[in-house]
Amino acid sequence: MITFDWLEQHAPVIAFMTGREEGDCGWEGCASGSRATCLAQAPIPSERLVALRQCHGDRIVVVQPQDAGRGSVDRASALADADGLISWESNLPLAINVADCVPVFLAGPGVCGLVHAGREGTAQHIAEKAVRELAEHDVLPESLYALLGPSAGPCCYAVSPEMRANSVASGVSARGDHLDLWDTNYRQLVGAGVPAEHIHVSGICTICQPGFFSYRGDATTARNMAVIMRRSGL
Ligand SMILES: [Zn+2]
Q: pLDDT digits over 156-167, tens only?
A: 999 999 999 999
The CA 151 to ligand 1 mean position distance, Å, reads 9
Dihedral pair phi/psi, residue 101, rounded to 5°: -65, 155
The CA 158 to ligand 1 mean position distance, Å, reads 10
The CA 90 to ligand 1 mean position distance, Å, reads 35
Sequence-separated (6 or more) residues with CB below 8 Å from residue 215: 99, 100
The CA 87 to ligand 1 mean position distance, Å, reads 32
Which pLDDT score, from 0 to 100, does residue 233 have?
A: 64
Which domains are present in the chain? Answer: 2-230 (3.60.140.10)
Sequence-separated (6 or more) residues with CB below 8 Å from residue 102: 116, 117, 118, 122, 148, 149, 151, 152, 181, 182, 185
E strands, the chain, are: 2-3, 13-17, 50-51, 60-62, 84-87, 94-98, 102-108, 111-117, 145-148, 173-175, 178-180, 199-201, 224-230
Q: Please, which residues have CB less than 5 A from ligand 1, an ion?
A: 153, 155-156, 205, 207-208
Which pLDDT score, from 0 to 100, does residue 220 have?
A: 86
Which pLDDT score, from 0 to 100, does residue 28 have?
A: 93
- pLDDT of 140-198, one tens digit each? 999 999 999 999 999 999 999 999 999 999 999 999 999 999 999 999 999 999 999 99
The CA 20 to ligand 1 mean position distance, Å, reads 17
Using 50 as the pLDDT threshold, list the residues of the chain that sit under it. none
The CA 102 to ligand 1 mean position distance, Å, reads 13
